[in-house]
Structures are given as C-alpha cells and as structure tokens.
C-alpha cells in the first residue's frame, strides 16, 4: 500500500460508552421518550440484535441522524464521517470482501503505514473489528468512524458493483459505444454513469500522485490530461475527444458553474475527502479554439502547514526566523515568484505563533487552507474593498497579528507599515527576486524610505527546487563546468549526486520539492542605511558582514548534501555570474 493520511475524524478514547448506553444517553438528554426507547428495544430483540439501537431509533423516526451523531461525538469522541462528499480508493475498499462488508455494515475509508480507518454503522461491534484484522497486516490498528447504515450500504453499492479504475471505466465506455454518457441527470452524481466515476477516478489519481494542478486540454481529436507535479507539467494520458463534453459538464456541476455557458471563462470550486484527506479544488474554465480548457488547482490540507525543517530551512535559518517572530511588532515579508511556496511559508510562520492568547487575523485572496483558531477572511485584492480597506476594517477587531496576502500597491504597503507602527505583527508577501530587493520595491510603489526603519523586521526570499529521489539518486564525478559552478569555496568536492529515475519517482529522478532561501534580518545599522537611501551594493555588503547567506549559497549547500542537483538549482536561481 502507498501511504495516505487519516481523515480528521479519529476515534478518541475518552469516556467511552457501550452500544446499549446510547439509548439511555438519548433518553437522558430528552431526545427520545421512555416509550420510544422501549419500542426500539423490543424491535431490536425481534431482529435478534442484528441492528444497533441507534439505527433502529432512526428507522422508526424517533431520532435524526444528526442527533445520533452528536451523542456519539459527545460520548465516545467518534465523529460522523461524511462519505457522501468523499472519494475512497477503490483498491482499498476491495481488500474487504463485499459479503463481509454488507453483513457487518462497514467500509474501509483510508489508511496509513500503521492503521486503517473503517466506516461503521456500529462502532462498538468488536467482533466485526476483530474479524477485520485478517484482511490486513498483523498489528495494524483499526480506527472506527461512524457512518449511517444507509450511507454505508449505498457506498458499498458504488465501490463494489462499479468499475472504479480509469482504464476499466474507459473500457466500459468503449464497450457501450458511449451510449448515454451525456445524460445530464446521471452526470449530477449517479454512479451508474461511467463519466461520474471517471471524473472521480481522475481526481483521486491526481491527488495520489501529489499533483498541485490538474489540466484538461481539448485538442481537435483527443483530450489531453496533464498534472503539475513538483512544479513540472507531466502528461498523464490522452482520451477520446467525444468524452470531453460529458467530463466538462460533470466538472462544472461539481464546481457550481453554469453548464450551459461555454463561451466565457468561469470560476468555481468544490471540495471532497479523497484518500482520507480534505481536498479543495479551485476550478477555472477558459474558452479556446479547440473548446473549453479546464484547470483545477488542488489544495491539500495535509500540505497546508509543515515545519520549517520540512520546508527546507536549516537550523541556523530556523534560529534566525525564531528571533524575528519574537519581535512583538513590525512587518515580516516573504518574497518570491508565483508558485514559490510563499503562502505555505506564511502559514507555517503563523502556526509557530498561533496560541490561545493571540488574536490572529488574515486577509487572503482567497483563503487556501483553514487554520484552527485563526480568523481568516476572503478578500478581492483588486476590488473596492481590497487589502488596504480590509486592514483598516480588521484593525477594529483588536488583532495582535495580521496577515495580508500580498502587497501589490502603495495603499496596501502604507497600511501594512502603519499597522506595524501601531503595535501589530504583520505578515505579507511581495514579488521580488531576492530579499534585499524588497526594500527598493517598497520604495518604488510609494513607501518613503524614512517609514521603513523600525517597522520592517525582516525579509525571507525563497524558491522551490525538486528534490532528488532518495531511492535512485546516484553519486557521480563532477565535471569541470559543475566544479566551476560550485566555486572556490567548494573546490574539494569531486562528486555530486544526480537524478536517475525509478518507479518510486515515475522515472523522473525527482520526488518532492524543497525551499532554497535567504533571510535578511533588519537590525539597527541596516535601518540607518535604509533611512539614508543607501545603494543596494552598500546594503548587500553590510548584510554579508552581518552573516547574511545568499540564496545561491543555500542552494549550493543543498547540492553538496545531495538533496538537489545543480540542474534544479540553475532552474530556480540565476547562476549566470558563475558560468563565465
């Protein structure tokens, strides 16, 4: 099995109750009456205890699924899993025989290396849980989550009775000669429609491969499907053009778009639980000469907040950032081009200071991931109520920390500086090539240099580079050109790791991405240089004397350490000065 994360609905162990106690709990909270409990108990006995008391109460109409779920949550810590808006890996489902799943009213949901999450209508059925173990490796932990019986049986029908693999679904469509694939009523979610299953299978495949974007690109004779993986576009498959109309309609239905509109671009979104992870899809359409192009941005909550170390920041960088975060007021800027991971780093920094004694508020365009405790707001950066107006509004909400998605204009920049000068920590992003470039950039958009000293805490610049696959990378002799790029400081390096390719990395030689970064902490002497409008070279010389490590040096160290190769570093960072 490939590793996938568990859903957020995990079983807790505090104050567990037995199945028999559920009825008493409902009675205690006056959700049902004594007579209703007695009737349900007799009905359960008549059925030879084949159903739970909770399921019978629901069947009899004495209690709603919602009320039952709340009791389960309060009393056992097991929350209801929403299987209707989830997509499950069919390969996992079929590890449990269908007859066993129907008899015990359960269905596998997701798994990790050590555990499997099972949706059950009776989370206290220890016999079923024990019998499940024979289908999985020894010592596998089984985590039950509650799903209503009717929803489990419906899911069993979907995942056991219908083909769920992309290849199998396409073969099914071909064998049926494409009959009824454009039936709109079925495209609204009927699993009898192979197109509904095909879209689900493609979305699952994209998430499984770690794609950040999913592209549907119509050509005159075929539909091209490409994923963006680790920053690179990868063609996954091509399918018959005749299927595109139905796929496009299904995607529009999912995303809340107008299915009749194909001449104008549209934006929409949908979310789902896929492979046990909460996934948000931002969807956009664009008319082209070959038909509508659809691109889906994949936002995986699993990847929303990671540690600085996981992002690629070493211990000295971590220490420097921690010092910056300790300052109670001022602006911290993350810089880099589009797609350089600025938002992820901003979220990581916020998570490092996210405590109950702080009021953290954000203005984002749009909110990409939800962070517990933090008050997050969607805002249109180019509208009348843009970032500048938004900051003025949330300053009345008593914030300690403010995140402004991006500084794009003078008003936003000045508002951020003013918020910092009135005692707030402000986090934001800016498009510049490097950390020092943030200072002249702010001046160019209209921030006077005399306002920055004392208000600017520091600037973090980063790029993303693909990591060498740990399973197949190979150490090889460095050639003359590579040694020249390494520079005189690393003249003793004779070998470097290079990409090879294996089945673990789809034969690309790379797996995952890492940040290449530089951190500029603005201290008193640099404040004075900024105030005096010093040249860029003067500021660079001063920063290096104070220990500033340029991005290229951070990247070269990652090359020497075998984390990335020179090819990736050259793609991410300008190294032309070293080529001469």
Q: What is the pLDDT of residues 182-214, one digit of tens each?
A: 778 788 877 778 899 999 999 989 998 899 999
Measured N-to-C along each axis, helices 194-208 and 244-255 cross at an angle, to the nearest 10 degrees, of: 70
Query: What local confidence, expressed as pLDDT, does residue 71 receive?
Result: 66
- Crossing angle of the two packed helices 524-531 and 536-545, in degrees rounded to 10: 170
Q: What is the pLDDT of residue 7?
A: 41
Residues 6+ apart with CB under 8 A from 323: 521
The predicted pLDDT at position 372 comes to 84
- CA distance linking residue 127 with residue 124, whole number of Å: 9
Count other Cβ atoms within 10 Å, centred on residue 329: 17
CB 108 within 8 A of CB 117: yes
Which residues sit opposite 517 in a β-bridge? 462
pLDDT values of the chain reduced to their tens digit, one per residue, 580 residues:
333 334 444 333 334 445 556 777 778 777 788 888 888 888 888 888 777 777 788 778 787 766 676 666 665 555 567 787 788 877 788 889 999 999 999 999 988 888 899 999 888 788 898 899 999 888 888 988 888 888 898 888 888 877 778 888 998 888 887 677 877 878 887 777 889 999 999 998 999 889 999 999 999 999 999 999 999 999 999 999 999 999 999 999 999 999 999 999 999 999 988 877 889 999 999 999 999 999 999 998 777 778 899 999 999 999 999 999 999 999 999 999 988 999 999 999 999 999 999 999 999 998 988 888 899 999 886 656 689 999 999 999 999 999 999 999 999 999 999 999 999 999 999 999 999 999 999 999 999 999 999 999 999 999 999 999 999 999 999 999 999 999 999 989 999 999 999 988 989 999 999 999 999 999 999 999 999 999 999 999 999 999 999 999 999 999 999 999 999 999 999 998 887 6
Q: Is 25 helix (H, G, I), strand (E, B) or coil?
A: helix
* 117-to-208, 272, 276, 449 alpha-carbon distances in Å: 17, 17, 9, 56
CA distance 421 to 329: 7
Q: Residue 295: what are its φ and ψ, rounded to 5°?
A: -125, 135
**pLDDT value at position 294?**
98
SS3 515: strand
Check residue 140 and give its pLDDT.
Answer: 85
User: How many alpha carbons lie under 13 Å from residue 328 in its C-beta half-sphere?
Assistant: 4
Question: How many CB atoms within 10 Å of residue 406?
Answer: 19
Strands (DSSP E) found in 365-470: 375-378, 401-404, 425-430, 456-468
Which pairing describes strands 375-378 and 360-364: parallel, antiparallel, or unpaired? Answer: parallel
Q: What is the pLDDT of residue 14?
A: 37
Strand partners, 516: 463
Beta bridge partners of 496: 476
Name all contacts of 278-287 with Cβ < 8 Å and 24+ positions apart: 278/7, 278/8, 279/203, 279/207, 280/368, 281/203, 281/214, 281/254, 281/255, 282/366, 283/251, 283/254, 283/255, 283/257, 285/248, 285/252, 285/257, 287/262, 287/263
What is the separation, in whole angstroms, between the first and last Cα of the chain? Answer: 49
- Asked whether 115 and 90 are in contact (CB, 8 A), the reply is no
**pTM greater than 0.75 (yes/no):** no
Q: What is the DSSP string of 323-364?
A: HHHH-SSEEEEEE--TTSSHHHHHHHHHHHH--TT--EEEEE
Q: How many CB atoms lie within 10 A of CB 276?
A: 24
3-state SS, 85-147, equals: HEECCHHHHCCCCHHHHHHHCEEEEEECCCEEEEEECCCCCHHHHHHHHHHCCCCCEEEEEEC
Q: Which of 72, 82, 80, 70 is nearest to 19 (CA)?
A: 72
Return the pLDDT at 188: 85
Cα torsion through 286, 287, 288, 291, rounded to 10: 110
Residue 377 bridge partners (DSSP): 363
Cβ count near 444 (within 10 Å): 9
Residue 330 CA, distance from chain mean position? 29
Query: Which segments of 425-518 does DSSP mark as H helices, in order?
Result: 438-444, 480-486
- Dihedral class, residue 163 (left if φ above 0, else alpha if ψ from -120 to 50, else beta): beta
Helix (H) / strand (E) containing 435: none
Q: 3-class SS at 221? A: coil
The pLDDT value given to residue 324: 97
């Amino acid at each position: 099995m490939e590793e996938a994360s568990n859903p957020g609905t995990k079983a807790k162990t505090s104050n567990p109750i037995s199945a028999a106690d559920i009825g008493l709990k409902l009675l205690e909270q006056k959700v049902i009456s004594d007579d209703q409990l007695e009737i349900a108990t007799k009905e359960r006995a008549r059925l030879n205890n084949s159903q739970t008391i909770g399921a019978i109460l629901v069947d009899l109409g004495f209690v709603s699924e919602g009320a039952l779920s709340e009791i389960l949550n309060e009393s056992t810590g097991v929350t209801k899993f929403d299987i209707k808006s989830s997509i499950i890996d069919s390969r996992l489902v079929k590890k449990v025989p269908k007859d066993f799943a129907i008899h015990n009213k359960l269905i596998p949901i997701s798994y990790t290396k050590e555990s499997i999450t099972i949706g059950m209508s009776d989370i206290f059925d220890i016999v079923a849980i024990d019998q499940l173990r024979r289908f999985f490796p020894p010592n596998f932990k089984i985590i039950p989550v509650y799903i209503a019986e009717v929803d489990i049986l419906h899911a069993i029908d979907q995942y056991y009775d219908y083909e769920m693999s992309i290849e199998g679904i396409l073969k099914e469509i071909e064998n049926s000669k494409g009959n009824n694939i454009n039936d709109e009523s079925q495209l609204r979610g009927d699993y009898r429609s192979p197109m509904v299953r095909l879209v689900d299978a493609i979305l699952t495949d994209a998430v499984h491969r770690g794609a950040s974007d999913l592209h549907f690109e119509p050509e005159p004779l075929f539909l091209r499907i490409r994923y963006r993986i680790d920053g690179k576009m990868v063609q996954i498959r091509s399918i018959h053009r005749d299927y595109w109309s139905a796929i496009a309609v299904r995607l529009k239905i999912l995303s809340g778009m107008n299915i009749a509109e194909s001449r104008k671009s549209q934006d929409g979104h949908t979310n789902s639980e896929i492979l046990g992870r909460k996934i948000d899809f931002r969807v956009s359409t664009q008319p082209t000469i070959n038909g509508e192009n659809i691109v889906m941005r994949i936002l995986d909550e699993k990847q929303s907040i990671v540690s600085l170390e996981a992002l690629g920041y070493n211990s000295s960088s971590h220490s420097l950032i921690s010092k910056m975060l300790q300052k109670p007021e001022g602006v911290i800027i993350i810089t880099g081009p589009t797609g350089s991971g600025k938002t992820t780093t901003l979220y990581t920094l916020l998570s490092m200071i996210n405590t109950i004694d702080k009021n953290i508020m954000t203005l984002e365009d749009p909110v990409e991931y939800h962070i517990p405790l933090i008050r997050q707001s969607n805002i249109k950066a180019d509208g009348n109520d843009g970032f500048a107006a938004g900051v003025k509004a949330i300053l009345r909400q008593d914030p300690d920390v403010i995140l402004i998605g991006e500084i794009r204009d003078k008003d936003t920049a000045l508002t951020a500086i003013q918020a910092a000068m009135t005692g707030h920590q402000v986090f934001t992003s800016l498009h510049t090539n490097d950390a020092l470039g943030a200072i002249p950039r702010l001046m160019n958009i209209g921030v006077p240099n005399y306002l920055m000293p004392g208000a600017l805490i520091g600037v973090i610049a980063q790029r993303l580079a693909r990591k060498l696959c740990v399973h197949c990378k190979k150490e090889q002799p460095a050639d003359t050109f590579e040694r020249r790029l390494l520079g005189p400081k690393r003249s003793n390096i004779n070998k470097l790791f290079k990409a090879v390719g294996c089945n673990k990395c789809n034969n690309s030689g790379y797996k995952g991405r890492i940040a290449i970064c530089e951190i500029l902490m603005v201290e008193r002497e640099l404040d004075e240089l900024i105030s005096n409008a010093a040249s860029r070279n003067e500021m660079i010389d001063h920063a290096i004397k104070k220990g500033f490590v340029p991005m290229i040096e951070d990247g070269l160290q990652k090359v020497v350490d075998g984390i990335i190769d020179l090819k990736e570093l050259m793609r991410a960072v300008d190294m032309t000065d070293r080529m001469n």
